[in-house]
Amino acid sequence: MAKDIVMLHGANCGGWCFETFGEVFTARGLTCHAPDLIGHGADKADAKTALAGTGIADYRAQMTDFVKALPERPILLGHSMGAVIAQQLASEGLAEALILASPAPRAGIEPPTGPEKQLGQDLMSIGPFWTRVIDPNFDLACHYTLNRLPADEQRRIFDFFGPESGRALFELFMWMFDQTGATSVDTAAIRCPVLCLSGGEDRIVSLATACATASAYPGVEFWEIEGHAHMLLLEPGAESIATRIANWVAKDR
C-alpha cells in the first residue's frame, strides 16, 4: 500500500481540520499531505477574490496537479466536499486506495432526509447564492456540522472556518440544475479499495446519503460511526477513528 496519504477537506474548512488524523497517520509511518483548496485555510483572507466564480472543477484541477506531482500514487482521503473530489481523482486512476468520510453527495444522489432538504431550502432563501462567496454562519454551523462538538469547542473551531464559493455549493447541493455536471463521478472507473465512513448523527450528509455514495463500489467497506456527526475529524474520539482507518490502510489486500 502507498506511503503517501492526501487528505482533501470540505466546504469552509482547510487542511487544518486533519491535524488529529495527520498525527495518527504520521505515527503509523504515512507521509501526510493536507493541502488547502483555492481560497481556503491559510488563503482564506483572500477568499472573496479567489473564490469568485470558482467551482468544483477548479478544485479538482488543483488537486489533480497536486497528486500527479507526488512520487507515487497516494491513498486519497476526502471529507465532505473533498470526498467528491477524491472520487473524481480516483476515477482517473490517481488513488491507491480511497477513503470517504462524511461524503457529500455526488451528482445523482438525491437528498433523502428532512435536514438535507432544509439545507437546500436555506441556500435558495438567500437568492442567487451561486453568484456569491458565502460567509460561514455560526448558528447554522452549530446545527448542521458542529453538533457533536462540546459547546466550548464550537466557537473555537468555527473561528477557523472561512468563506465558501457559492458556485461550489450550488454544484454540490443543486447538482440537478448544474448543466456542467461538476460533481459527476465515473464510479465504474474506480477499482481501488474503498472505505466509506459516516457519523450516525450527521445532519448535513445523512447516513442514507453516505450509504448511497458507498453503494456504487463493489467490495466497499462501510462504517457507521455511532455518536459522531459531520465533523468526526475534530470531535472527541477522532484519534480512535483515525487509528481504525490506519488499521484498514495497513491490511493486506
Mean pLDDT of 211-235: 97
Q: What are phi and psi of 76, to 5 degrees?
A: -110, 130
User: Residue 43: what pLDDT?
Assistant: 86
- Using the structure block, give the residue that is written with the C-alpha cell 447564492: 129
Q: Which range has the worst mean pLDDT, 1-5, 37-41, 63-67?
A: 1-5
What does the pLDDT look like over 80-108, one tens digit per residue?
A: 999 999 999 999 999 999 999 999 999 99
| Domain carrying residue 129 | 4-250
Tell me the average pLDDT of the chain: 95
Q: How confident is the model at residue 1 (pLDDT cuts 50, 70, 90)?
A: low
What does the pLDDT look like over 19-28, one tens digit per residue?
A: 999 999 999 9
What does the pLDDT look like over 12-51, one tens digit per residue?
A: 999 999 999 999 999 999 999 999 999 999 888 888 899 9
Give the number of domains in the chain: 1
Is residue 74 within 8 Å of residue 97, measured between CB atoms? no
Task: Look up the CATH number of the domain holding residue 228.
Answer: 3.40.50.1820
Query: Which residues, at least 6 apart from 230, have a Cβ–Cβ distance to it below 8 Å?
Result: 80, 102, 144, 145, 147, 199, 202, 203, 204, 205
SS (H, E, C) 46-89: HHHHHCCCCCHHHHHHHHHHHHHCCCCCCEEEEECHHHHHHHHH
User: Residue 44: what pLDDT?
Assistant: 86
Q: How confident is the model at residue 115 (pLDDT cuts 50, 70, 90)?
A: confident
- Cell, residue 166: 457559492
> CB-side exposure of 89: number of CA atoms within 13 Å?
34
User: Residue 46: what pLDDT?
Assistant: 86
User: Residue 91: what pLDDT?
Assistant: 98
Q: How confident is the model at residue 120 (pLDDT cuts 50, 70, 90)?
A: confident
What does the pLDDT look like over 140-171, one tens digit per residue?
A: 999 999 999 999 999 999 999 999 999 999 99
User: Residue 253: what pLDDT?
Assistant: 58
